Amino acid sequence: MKNIKGVFLPFSALKFLGKKPHTVRYPLEKKKTAERYRGFHYNDIEECIGCGTCATICQNEAIDMIKIDGIEPKKGDSGLRPRVDNGRCCWCGLCVEMCPTGSLSLTDQYLQTTPDPESFLLIPGVDHPEYGEHKSFVKDDEIRLLDLQRVPMRELDGAERVKSFAEVVLGYMQEEARREASRCVDCAICVTACPDHMHIPEYIAAIADADDELALKYIYDNNPLPELCGKVCTRQCETVCAISHLGDPIAIRWLKRYATEQFPDPAVILNPKIAEPNGKKVGIVGGGPAGLSAGFYLALRGFDVTVYEALPKAGGMTFAGIPKYRFPEDSLDKQISYMEKIGVKIKTNTRIGKDISFEELEKRHDALFLGVGFHVPYRLGIIGEDLKNSIQAVDFLREINLGNKVDVGDKVVVIGGGNVAIDAARVARRLGAEVTILYRRRVEDMPADWEEIEGAEHEGVKIVPQGIPLEIIGKDGKVAAIKYGMAEMVPDPKGGRPRPKLIEGDEHTMEVTSVIGAIGQEADYSFLPERIKEKLEIERGRIKVNEYKQTTIDYIFAGGDTVNRTMDAISAIADGVKAVEGIERFLLGDKNK
Amino acid sequence: MTQVEKETTLYLGPQHPGITGNMMIELKVTGDTVQRAKTHVGYLHRGFEKLMEERLWMQCFPIVCRICVPEPDPNEENLARAIEEIEGREVPERAQYIRVMVLELSRIASYFLWMGGQAGSMGLYTMPQWTVGDRDYILDLFEELTGGRVYHMYIWAGGVRRDLPDGFAGRVRRVLDYLEERLTDYDRLFFQNALFLKRSQGVGVIDKDKAMEWGVVGPPLRGCGIAHDVRKDEPYEVYDKLDFEIITHEGGDIYARAMVRRREIEQSISIIRQVLDKMPGGPVHNPGPNPLKWKLPAGEAYVRTESARGEFGYYVVSDGSLKPRRIHVRGPAYVHGVSLLEKMLVGANIADVSVIMNSLGTCPPEIER
């Protein structure tokens, strides 16, 4: 034996017999997991919106989205919740990294011993709610897979804007649109929020895929006025966007705008198939978004469609109400010319009851669609309202959009806090006036789009919140000043939003040259004969309709502001689209039957 | 007729002490001498390369770590680096340092597992008890850093998933100090053990000239006295900023390979200490596109890493779509564990088959993928 050392050295290990073991004495002792341990899932059920991004990213297909008792679908929440199959899960945590709300996490829990294979299906947050106390692998604040920041939209500078009616928003360039579209997780939460249920994830994916033509096809599938929506939509989709929970929502409106801007003539791309004429005639009263949408799809389906519009151009409020810096006239023209190509006949300068009687209309058509909108402004109801230069925003905007001159002087006060008020203020600003908005509630209570409010402020419009107009003071029959009182916000006893209450004695007077009222509008149904009005069910100014926008008179359908309270273009378009189905069923019978 | 001439077939495996994983060797023996050997693999084929062709790029990361169970990190690093090369994404320097630390920690962990296996295949069962216990201290570090002990899923395109937790560097140093101290015990029990020396020196010899021809890499190649190490030959991450030399050992036998690994444990400890000293601050992740819409530009890349078993390579092809066109994994164990082993076993003693196999560092999950 040459290697004596090598024989005896190993015996030095005997000393370890006397040492304490360094292993964990399970089950007497439990192993404490690390802070980031990736164990079983936990889901904050209240925060989760059921977008399903976790299920999409899961490479093991361990997650499916299921309906859970007690959680109802609502706006911005699919009502579904993830269920994890722990028999498939590999605890990589990609679901946690991708969760747009941050509701999903992994816990430090890792033990499950059971002979029941069904129990491996865990609905995080519902099963084992106690895991909520054991969150360990959570979303990191800095390291993210989702891009939470919106690609900024280029806009005209504030000083530049007030010089003209040039469009403020400049639109995305191709690369910007692709980048913005790539942020989307395709969850389709937006689709349910959109009154018209547009194919939002599909067209966004198409834009991300550099297939703008496909995007346009998806868009035109149920919205014939995307030029309009791409510019002025109230975008309820964006308010529920999954990404908006931790970041900026996807700029859905701007992406739609981008897609429409790529093609000067949509007809070339879409090359729509128009059905053979079916011999049925539909008359549409009012060329606004509701009427045009109904007309477009009816024409595509072979109906003979005539739109009757009182103003010199179709578009309704989008023509007469929305200022040109938001929705330029050429965009409107582009849409109308496409409509006409499809075969929609538009008769402008035709007011029902004046240029043509309602009876004549009934005689000419098999069905009628009423989309007359709200063009009659509410009065302020204060002293001095009838003075010269005390005008109404809808009238003011219409005159400006028709190209007429309105002299508002150099100091204008606009009363109201909705989009119409902001539009009027920004237009007055462009006419060179100094503009103040007087609103009875707080700025955060304003129903106007926050981007519009910001834009107005950017252009130098002053906002006086919690100011209630008391009296318009005149001089020589003309507006000279306005007296208003300051209000405090008091809780609504009925539980609604806080109400303004006038503070006694806190009154101010502002010298102005014009007062523009913008506190709302109503419809004018004077064109309807009494026998029709009697039969129609009209509730607080709105005509009652069924699911298919059919009124209580079977051959009359209605849509737009005439029937719904949201008072926006996209709801009107949705009404029009829905009415097409109704009119088709009414005139041709239910094909499904 | 002598007994020597009568050939018997002996099926070794698929479970046997030579490897971590399942693989069978069909031995034709006369007496206790192997005349011919045929390897049978396929027990662990899970089709990862194909699976990845049906997955988004991001979804590939939780898969690749499974390609080599004892040492998953080179897979993650390789895939990440190949993707970064194709799309030209920069990786923050801090992330590169962290990656090196992770790779070296996983090398040490892998060598500890090998030590246990090598000793166990010779019947010295104290060693596996020790090495598995000590390896767990590294796994504790991994758990703290990544959230997982074995499958880390930590290195991804653009950097790493999380920054170091507070005080992590200090805890790494403490573990390194402990392991370094323990090496003395391992020397006494194993590396200087007369039994080990007897069974390793001159056994399982790889011919130096043949080594290159057969495509041998890693410790088996360096055990032939050939200085080849991807970390030096084609430095990746921040290896060129670290001070270390390629470790070689003459002889080409089991002992030489063992000594290479034994010294490389010390080397890795030194590298990690340097990493901790030099690690800069800053971000650890350079974000890429939304994983659901992440299209890698069309292109291809071959990247390689020096793993504990030798050169590990990933060939990644993108056709510009959401999913990989092809990902091919080049693992060292295929060369060592299949082609080379069949040659080496000829003339070996049956009792040495597992010892030889272990000395090559064979990892069947990586052969079959």
Looking at residue A1, its pLDDT comes to 55
CATH code (residue A128): 3.30.70.3270
Cβ-nearest to B148 among A13, A35, A38: A38
Residue ending a domain, choose from A243, A269, A295: A269
Q: What percent of chain A has pLDDT above 70?
A: 99
Do B162 and A59 count as a contact with CB atoms less than 8 A apart?
Answer: no
CATH code (residue A478): 3.50.50.60
Looking at residue A541, its pLDDT comes to 79
My answer on whether A384 and A349 are in the same domain is no
Residue ranges and CATH numbers for the domains of chain B are 7-367 (1.10.645.10)
A579 pLDDT exceeds 80?
A: yes
Q: What percent of chain A has pLDDT above 90?
A: 16
Across chain A, mean pLDDT equals 87
B177 pLDDT exceeds 90?
A: yes
* A151 belongs to a structural domain: no
Compute, in degrees rounded to 10, the torsion defined by CA atoms B99, B105, B107, B108: 170
CATH code (residue A195): 1.10.1060.10
ipTM of the complex model: 0.85
Going by pLDDT thresholds of 50, 70 and 90, the confidence category of residue B350 is confident
My answer on whether A244 and A335 are in the same domain is no
My answer on whether A241 and A347 are in the same domain is no
Give helix A450-458 / helix A419-430 axis angle, nearest 10°. 20
My answer on whether A409 and A508 are in the same domain is yes
Lowest mean pLDDT among A98-107, A141-150, B77-86: A141-150
* A507 belongs to a structural domain: yes
B144 to chain A: which residues are within 8 Å by CB?
Answer: 34-36
Peptide bond into A27 cis (omega under 30): yes
Residue that the structure tokens 């129990």 belong to: A119
* A152 belongs to a structural domain: no
B202 pLDDT exceeds 70?
A: yes
CA atoms of A428 and A406, how far apart (whole Å): 9
My answer on whether A388 and A363 are in the same domain is no
- Read off the amino acid at residue B2: T
Domain with A190, as residue range(s), is: 158-269
Buried/exposed A26-45: b ≥16 CB within 10 Å, e otherwise: eeeeeeebbebbbbbbbbbb
My answer on whether A260 and A320 are in the same domain is no
* A212 belongs to a structural domain: yes
C-alpha distances out from residue A358 to A283, A558, B77, Å: 11, 15, 76
Segment A475-485, tens digit of pLDDT = 888 888 889 98
Give helix B254-278 / helix B93-121 axis angle, nearest 10°. 150
DSSP assignment letter at A17: G
Enumerate chain B positions whose Cβ falls within 8 A of a Cβ in A: 55-56, 58-63, 126, 133, 140, 143-148, 151, 153, 161-163, 165, 185, 187-190, 192-195, 197, 283-285, 287, 289-293
My answer on whether A506 and A532 are in the same domain is no
Looking at residue B108, its pLDDT comes to 94
pLDDT (mean) for B203-229: 88
B193 to chain A: which residues are within 8 Å by CB?
Answer: 6, 9-10
B258 pLDDT exceeds 90?
A: yes
CA atoms of A396 and A405, how far apart (whole Å): 10
* A168 belongs to a structural domain: yes
My answer on whether A210 and A229 are in the same domain is yes
Segment A516-543, tens digit of pLDDT = 988 888 888 888 888 888 888 888 878 8
Provide DSSP, A240-291: H-GGGGTSPPP-HHHHHHHHHHT-S-HHHHH-PPPPPP-S-EEEEE--SHHH
**For A8, nearest residue in chain B (alpha carbons):** B193
Going by pLDDT thresholds of 50, 70 and 90, the confidence category of residue B107 is very high
CA atoms of A450 and A439, how far apart (whole Å): 15
A140 to chain B: which residues are within 8 Å by CB?
Answer: 161-162
Segment A54-79, tens digit of pLDDT = 999 998 889 999 998 888 888 888 88
Looking at residue B111, its pLDDT comes to 92
My answer on whether A432 and A443 are in the same domain is yes
pLDDT (mean) for A575-579: 88
CA atoms of A288 and A339, how far apart (whole Å): 12
B1 pLDDT exceeds 50?
A: no
| Residue A185, Cβ density class (10 Å: 0-12 exposed, 13-18 middle, ≥19 buried) | buried
Structural domains of chain A, count: 4
Going by pLDDT thresholds of 50, 70 and 90, the confidence category of residue B58 is very high
Nearest to A143 by CA among B81, B94, B314, B85: B94
Q: How far is B172 from chain A (nearest CA, A)?
A: 14
| Residue B1, Cβ density class (10 Å: 0-12 exposed, 13-18 middle, ≥19 buried) | exposed
- Read off the amino acid at residue A287: G
My answer on whether A121 and A223 are in the same domain is no
Lowest mean pLDDT among A244-258, B18-32, B96-110: B18-32
* A57 belongs to a structural domain: yes
Across chain B, mean pLDDT equals 88
* A13 belongs to a structural domain: no
CA atoms of A236 and A220, how far apart (whole Å): 19
Interface test with B, best of A36, A53, A105 (most B CBs within 10 A): A36
* A26 belongs to a structural domain: no
My answer on whether A422 and A495 are in the same domain is yes
Going by pLDDT thresholds of 50, 70 and 90, the confidence category of residue A110 is confident
Longest dimension (CA), chain B: 76
Looking at residue B299, its pLDDT comes to 92
CA atoms of A17 and A24, how far apart (whole Å): 17
Segment A228-243, tens digit of pLDDT = 888 888 888 888 999 9
Residue ending a domain, choose from A496, A521, A546: A521
A593 pLDDT exceeds 50?
A: no
Contact B326, A91 (CB under 8 A): no
Q: What are residue B312's DSSP bridge partners?
A: B305
My answer on whether A364 and A389 are in the same domain is no
Segment A268-309, tens digit of pLDDT = 888 888 888 888 889 998 888 889 999 999 998 889 999 998
Q: What are residue B160's DSSP bridge partners?
A: B155
Looking at residue B164, its pLDDT comes to 92
pLDDT (mean) for A566-583: 86
A551 pLDDT exceeds 90?
A: no
Residue ending a domain, choose from A102, A137, A172: A137
